[in-house]
Structure 1
Amino acid sequence: MPVKNDPYTDAMFKRLVAKREQTAKNRERALAKRKAITDLAEEERRDYLHPEEDAEFREFTVHIKHLDSELKHLDERIQELSEEAERSATLTDGALAVQRARTRVESVREGRTYEQGNGRSYLQDLARLQLNMDTTGEARERLMRHARDVAEAAASPEYRDLSRTDGAGGYAVPPLWLMSQYVELARAGRAYANLCNTQPLPAGTDSINIPKMATGTATAIQTADNGAVAETDLTDTSVTAPVRTIAGQQDVAIQLLDQSPISFDQIVFRDLVADYATKLDLQVISGSGSSGQVTGVRSTSGITTITYTSATPTVSQLYSKIADAVQRIHTLRFAPPSVIVMHPRRWAYLLAASDSNGRPLVVPDSGNPQNAAATLGAVAAQQVVGQMHGLPVVTDPSMPTALGAGTNEDVVHVVRASDLLLFESGIRSRVLPDVGSGTLTVRLQCYGYLAFTAARYPASVVEITGSGLAAPSF
């Protein structure tokens, strides 16, 4: 603390402390903004930063280093003033001891310090002390004497029947807001989209066209020497992936941004980016191809569909259907599938299944299980959770669960994911103060572009659907 009764030193100490607090807040905001860059890269499963992200990351790093230097300098100045105050307090200890002794003697002869009608106010003295208006030290002396009166007057003790109820003392116990632990909204990620063959979206176009061979050439046995050689002309077509936009915004009062003790703009942008990831994943899975949407996997013409109809579905039936899906990709695509994608509830249905002896059918793979329908890899979400038919199983809560005639059916996909093409731009953010300048409103906005197609090889996707995948019971 600064030296008492020295207004200049006290004011300087307060300015230094206030400046340090503001500098520390600025550093926390810079750290949060820099972390948002790496969080985005991690969320998109990238081990690199885009050029604009890298430049922004470096800029924040330099700024944080400068703030660290400024904090160190402020700490040194505050320490100097604190040490000066301690030295001053040591010099006046003797004088204070004499004053306390004199007060004890006088208090024997006097009535209570704040006795009714003596013209002294406890609250007034307390306010003067807290506002540094006690220039003579009299308010402090009276408060100290009152404290001794309360502690030593055994013949007339004071009682307090107040509680933490508002209006009965409770307003003196304010609620504690843990602003640093702000609870963000839980949102689904982009598990299915992360499986795709992801590429940067080319600039300067609103549609990506990929040439595709429609029918091929042919060979045949030559019937005899000098006989005719088979000749079949190939034909070609193209696959079109229009570029679409995902965008969102939030209007915020500028007072909220200025006065909030946390970086509220970062909270808004993090939530916008999180919802962006969810909407992109939904587009990849179920985009309709109209009204500004991409053509998602389920809407792609030519994918294989297996209908699983059963009034009393079992794990063994689903196991057989997935085996059928695997062989269809082998048969029609002439290449192996790479992953099985299902809703978390379907994987939980498999985990809950047991044989007639109560033994689980899906068990951890560490014990070399025998006759297991699947193996449990990890208790995880929106990533690889186990294996089935030798393929990794990925759960995605964005897989549909409201299909069928009121039976809330979900679907299971067996996919050769490398054949799915997803073109993405970086997510761009904007702060627009002009649109609401008349009301001191700031618009926070983020947007990005994508193009997607599963039409290169529709046979790379097999969808299992039907009443056998109705909402499970546990």
Structure 2
Amino acid sequence: MSSTSNSQTAAMFQRLIGKREQTARDRENVIARRAAITAVAEEEARDYLHPEEDAEFRELTGYVKRLDEDLKRLDQRIAELSDEAERSATISDGAAAVQRARTRVETVREGRTYEQGNGRSYLQDMMRVQLNMDVDGGSRERLQRHARDVAEAAASPEYRDLTRTDGAGGFAVPPLWLMSQYVDLARAGRAYANVCNTQPLPAGTDSINIPKMSTGTATAVQTADNGAVQETDLTDTSVTAPVRTIAGQQDVAIQLLDQSPVSFDQIVFRDLVADFATKLDVQVIAGTGTSGQVTGIRSTAGITTIAYTSATPTVAQLYSKLADAVQRVHTLRFMPPTVIVMHPRRWAWFLAASDSAGRPLVVPDAGNPQNAVATLGAVAAEQVVGQMHGLPVVTDPSMPTTLGAGTNEDVIHIVRASDLLLFESGIRSRVLPDVGSGNLTVRLQVYGYLAFTAGRYPTSVVELGGSGLAAPSF
């Protein structure tokens, strides 16, 4: 095979490898976009996809199949060229051996194979051999000669006082980047939102209105036969839940997406979806109802509040206040509460409490505890962690902790969660290459819609707060 043919084959080989790498990156990006769809369903504890999510999922699945076929064809062509290069190297082995023998006879003493300034590169030869691009066998022969040079030099080694300090040998020890273990930003989830009555957001509307009875009918004891029957006309109103939008985006250079050894778009989308969940949870808890926000639980008119004021709070005092909150839901809503929601630091305060003998007041229920104020379930930050007053306790880091005059108080909610309505669309993801095309910039974007109301039965929520819930000490 001529040198011109060798160079043409090597160039084609490089092009095929480059095309395969790009196709593989495209496949990873599509799989990441598909995973983002299912991640939303998992985050919302759904075992189904919304119609628009299902359509996009199927479209991306078809695209993955096409990319798999392209990768298969490229692998076959690369294998063919690799085999051809290996055969050419085998054919030239004889000529190379003759040349090496002639060199040994004619040369008494020659310099080292890889000396500075001789135009030879150890890394380049290593790359050519590993990629089967050493069509003339020269790279392999030089690597073998270098191995002999190293073996001979071992008999009379030279030493240098070098360290790992940059500039004194340290640049030969590169840092190791574990790209496969990219560390995502820690974000709070949506524990409170997950206990609400969640429903798919109806299409084609920007506001959900729910009829509500304001005052009801009445009955009374009939004073006598044929006496007047009580008649009281009911009145009604409506509860309005406007549809709001949560969105986020990140502009990324095309070079970063093309040349990063990891699927950087997947990292961006994963972080955007995680922050979307956090912001939705905050809206459910404390949305103001203004500036595009929903009216969250704490901003809903008519919820019950109980003040716990104490300079020296104790578990016994707070336990009594919680009992009062539970009975308020029974008394005002005429239905039982279903969950207690608090910040993880407040639950930790309960866990740290002990009696006069140093025994903990919150213990695992497996131990058949006696006189315990609560039982400990999972050791977790954003799910059911135990029980108190017969109700599951859910901790949520998004519960406020900057309230009160000292701006360090938190609150506890006792809730009948089925009365809280949360309407959600699926999270949409978009890749917009045209926005910054003049700068080779791609915009990665997610958005979704929600509507929320706690106004159907405001008395389903009791908020316990006050100076007794200042930041605890441990």
Would you say same fold, with TM above 0.5?
A: yes
Q: CA deviation at 1:63?
A: 2.3
CA–CA distance in 1 between the matches of 2:232 and 2:30?
65
Q: What does residue range 10-29 of structure 1 map to in structure 2 within 5 Å? A: 10-29=10-29
Output the amino acid matched with 1:333. Answer: R
TM-score under structure 1 length normalisation: 0.87
Residue type at the aligned position of 1:277: A
- Does the 8 Å contact 2:88/2:136 carry over to 1? no
Structure 1 residues 50, 142: closer, same or farther in 2, change over 3 A?
Answer: closer
Cα pair 1:435 1:442 within 8 Å, conserved:
yes
What is the one-letter code of the residue matched to 2:323? Answer: A
Cα distance change, pair 356–19 in 1 and its aligned pair in 2 (3 A): same
Q: In structure 2, what is the equivalent of residue 244 of structure 1?
A: 244
- Which whole-Å CA distance do the structure 2 matches of 1:336 and 1:252 have between them? 50
Structure 2: give runs of 5+ residues left out of the alignment: none
Distance 1:162 1:63, change over 3 A: farther
> CA RMSD of the aligned region, Å?
3.3
Q: Note the C-alpha offset of 1:387.
A: 1.0
**Matched letter for residue 404 of structure 1:** G
Change (3 A) 1:115 1:190: closer
What are the equivalent positions in structure 2 for 1:16-415 lying under 5 Å apart? Answer: 16-82=16-82, 109-113=108-112, 121-124=117-120, 126=122, 129=125, 141=141, 144-145=144-145, 147-152=147-152, 156-406=156-406, 408-415=408-415
Distance in 1 of aligned mates of 2:135 and 2:38: 53
Question: d(CA) in 1 for partners of 2:125 and 2:240?
Answer: 76
Q: Which amino acid aligns with 2:385?
A: V
Question: What is the deviation of 1:8?
Answer: 4.6
1:248 counterpart SS class: strand
**2:376 alignment partner AA:** L
Contact 1:315 1:353 in 2 (8 A): yes
Partners of 2:216 and 2:383 in 1: CA distance: 38
Deviation at 1:263, TM superposition (A): 3.4
Secondary structure at 1:363's aligned position in 2? strand
Q: Distance in 1 between matches of 2:69 and 2:439?
A: 38
Mapped to 2, the partners of 1:426 and 1:155 lie a distance apart of 70
Q: After alignment, is 238-247 or 348-357 more displaced?
A: 238-247
User: Cα distance 1:444–1:407, how it changes in 2: closer, same or farther (>3 A)?
Assistant: closer
CA distance in 1, matches of 2:122, 2:375: 69
Shift of the alpha carbon at 1:380? 1.9
* Contact 2:432-2:444 at 8 Å conserved across structures: yes
Query: C-alpha separation between the residues in 2 aligned to 1:265 and 1:444?
Result: 8
8 Å contact 1:377–1:385 — kept in the other structure? yes
The CA distance in 2 between the partners of 1:153 and 1:443, in whole Å, is 56
Greater alpha carbon shift after TM alignment, 128-137 vs 461-470: 128-137
Change (3 A) 1:137 1:304: closer
Q: CA deviation at 1:115?
A: 11
What amino acid maps onto 1:284 in structure 2?
V
- Judging changes above 3 Å, is the alpha-carbon distance between structure 1 residues 361 and 97 closer, same or farther for their aligned structure 2 residues? farther
Shift of 1:93: 6.7
In the alignment, the residues of structure 1 paired with residue 79 and residue 337 of structure 2 have an alpha-carbon distance, to the nearest angstrom, of 66
How high is the sequence identity, in percent, across the aligned residues? Answer: 79
Instruction: State how far apart, in whole Å, the 1-side matches of 2:350 and 2:397 are.
Output: 16
Q: Which amino acid aligns with 1:346?
A: R
**Which deviates more, 186-195 or 22-31?**
22-31
1:115–1:262 Cα change, 3 Å: closer
SS in structure 1 at match of 2:120? helix
**Separation in structure 1 between the aligned mates of residue 177 and residue 155 of structure 2, nearest angstrom:** 42
Counterparts in 2 of 1:159 and 1:459: CA distance versus 1, 3 Å: same
1:454 is aligned with what amino acid? A
> CA 1:61–1:121 in 2, change beyond 3 Å: closer, same or farther?
same
Match of 1:447 in 2: 447
Paired with 1:85 and 1:320, the residues of 2 have a C-alpha distance of 83
Whole-Å separation in 1 of the counterparts to 2:79 and 2:258: 30
Distance 1:413 1:37 in 2: 32
Could you tell me which residue of structure 1 aligns to residue 470 of structure 2? 470
Query: Bigger shift: 194-203 or 38-47?
Result: 194-203
Separation in structure 1 between the aligned mates of residue 174 and residue 397 of structure 2, nearest angstrom: 40
* Between 45-54 and 6-15, the greater mean CA deviation after superposition: 6-15
In the TM superposition, residue 179 of structure 1 has moved relative to its aligned partner by 3.0
